[in-house]
Amino acid sequence: MATDWNPDAQYSNLNRASAAILDFAPPSALSISLSSCPTQSFASSCSLSILPSLTGSLAYLASSTDLPRQKPTLHSLVHNFNISALPKVPTSTHNHYLLYGQLHLPSSRLHSLYTRRLSPHSQLLVSSISHPRPPTRDEPSEMYITYQKDKGEYASELAYSVADGMASASSLFHFGLIDKGVESSHSPSTPHTARIDEEPDDDGSGGLKGHFSLGGEIYASALEKSAGVSTGLRFQTLPDTHSPPTVLVALLSPITGYLSGTYAATVARGLSLASRFEFNLFSYESVTTLGAEWAIHRSEEGEREQERNDDDTYWDENSQELKLKPNAVNSIPLSASTAIDEKDPIQGYVKARITTEKSVALQYAGRLKSLLISLGLVADLSNPHKPVQSIGLELQYLSPGNEPE
């Protein structure tokens, strides 16, 4: 993120890792988009949806920090399952900001976002949805104001929704490990992580090595005269160990009677599975969701060729990203953008989801040079007359303006 903020530290993102498998949104229309980054701090995008109706949008983004200029990897373009970074104490002293706006046509609906780093431990987010005509009940104008704070050991969030007067406060506490002396992301120094499991595993017993996060949220709306509370617990493995990437989350909302448990893990090379069980303590209704994500890697011959031509980087299975080897230079020149693209070991992602309500969703995301291709299908097996609800194809072209000369 442009403000160098860790979103996984917030309670609102407790299920962010498993959501990549269980809550992905397949394309439901035929759409084409073009993105370009003409300058180091400005980017633009336009999209056109042809089916089932003709719609489009224009989007712009401005940042106080330099945007990535190298050709991005497929991993950075697709939301996929991975273990988040370790909780750390923010130390950045730069008050970076990001501005984003998207105009939808022909409805002229405007989405906007402004976020700014207020201090090393806090940031402000303001997002809005506005309509040129008087908003209807189905399409109201909206504004959200969020104040976030991250102290390393815990993170808190205050949010307010103007339309319905909903106010909420949440906190998430981390136990087990914390980065005490993390420098800014621009610092060349290597931080030391203080963990509770630094002892070597001499007995060979193995097991999952990770840390816990415990949090809760309270919310109330004066307009709707409603209130609620929720609590959640998350366990996830450490990103720098040999333990298979695993995340377990439990959520409880006692007032509404909502209870859920989520489990997600990488079970084989490139294959991640997830499941979620939701239960209502008052109505006894339940829904089970199963999902899978398969990362299509290069062929063995292509990987051997990559290893012969690559001496400085390696692919980390836990974090699912390219990393520099310890003896390599701590930066990659912009002129290496083409090489970064060629060294990307992920050729595509296949996702599938099914629920006990007989809802099925499939998605494929792949890349051909500068073209990102996404196919999607949503089906309802409980409807024998129309089982297929939507089929979509999305083409996103990354303009050469994203790359340095």
247-256, 335-344, 357-366, 370-379: least confidently modelled range: 335-344
Q: Is 129 part of any domain?
A: yes
Question: What pLDDT is recorded for position 65?
Answer: 84
Q: How far is the C-alpha of 285 from the C-alpha of 259, rounded, in Å?
A: 11
User: What helix, strand, coil percent values describe the chain, rounded to 5?
Assistant: 10, 50, 40
| Segments forming the whole domain that contains residue 131 | 86-183
For the stretch 13-58, pLDDT in tens is 999 999 999 999 999 999 999 988 888 888 899 999 987 789 999 9
Q: Is residue 54 part of a domain?
A: no
The count of other CB atoms within 10 Å of the CB of residue 247 is 25
Does residue 97 lie within any of the structural domains?
yes
Which residue type occupies 148? Q
**SS3 (DSSP) at 401:** helix
User: Would strands 258-268 and 30-39 be described as parallel, antiparallel, or unpaired?
Assistant: unpaired
Per-residue confidence band for 308, with pLDDT thresholds at 50, 70 and 90: low
Asked whether the predicted pLDDT for residue 161 surpasses 50, the reply is yes
Q: Work out the average pLDDT over 282-286.
A: 95
More confident residue, 353 or 317: 353
Helix (H) or strand (E) holding 176: none
Per-residue pLDDT of 54-65, as tens digits, reads: 999 999 999 988
Q: 193-195 and 177-179: which strand pairing?
A: antiparallel
Asked if residues 232 and 251 have their Cβ atoms less than 8 Å apart, the reply is yes
Cβ within 8 Å of residue 113, ≥6 positions away? 98, 99, 100, 101, 125, 126, 127
In a domain, residue 163? The reply is yes
Residue with tokens 């509370």: 229
For residue 137, tell me if it sits in a domain. Answer: yes
The rounded distance, in Å, linking the Cα atoms of 224 and 185 is: 43
Per-residue confidence (pLDDT) for residue 137, from 0 to 100: 56
User: Which of 302, 345, 300, 338 has the alpha carbon at shortest distance from 322?
Assistant: 345
Contact partners, residue 144, CB within 8 Å, separation at least 6? 125, 126, 127, 128, 159, 160, 161, 162
Q: Does residue 396 surpass a pLDDT of 70?
A: yes
User: What is the pLDDT confidence band of residue 188, given thresholds at 50, 70 and 90?
Assistant: very low
Q: Where are the beta strands (DSSP E) in 298-336?
A: 313-316, 321-324
Residue 391: pLDDT band by 50, 70, 90 thresholds? very high
- Which run of H or E residues covers position 16? helix 16-22
Q: Is position 159 within any domain?
A: yes
The values of phi and psi at residue 276, to 5°, are -140, 130
110-157, pLDDT tens digit by residue? Answer: 999 999 999 889 999 999 998 876 655 566 778 999 999 999 899 999
Selected residue with higher pLDDT from 86 and 234:
234
Give the C-alpha distances (Å, rounded to integers) separating 220 from 149, 199, 299, 306: 20, 45, 53, 55
Distances in whole angstroms, Cα of residue 299 to Cα of each of 96, 303, 304, 349? 41, 6, 9, 15
**72 belongs to a structural domain:** no
Structure tokens belonging to residue 150? 């991250």
320: pLDDT strictly greater than 80: no
Q: What is the mean pLDDT of the chain?
A: 81
- pLDDT of residue 212 exceeding 90, the answer is yes
Question: What confidence tier does 4 reach under pLDDT thresholds 50, 70, 90?
Answer: confident
Q: What is the DSSP letter of 40?
A: T
Residue 158 has pLDDT above 70, yes or no: yes
Whether 139 maps to a domain, the answer reads yes
Quote the number of domains for the chain. 1
Entry pTM: 0.78
What pLDDT, in 10s, does the model give residues 84-118? 878 888 777 778 899 999 999 988 899 999 999 99
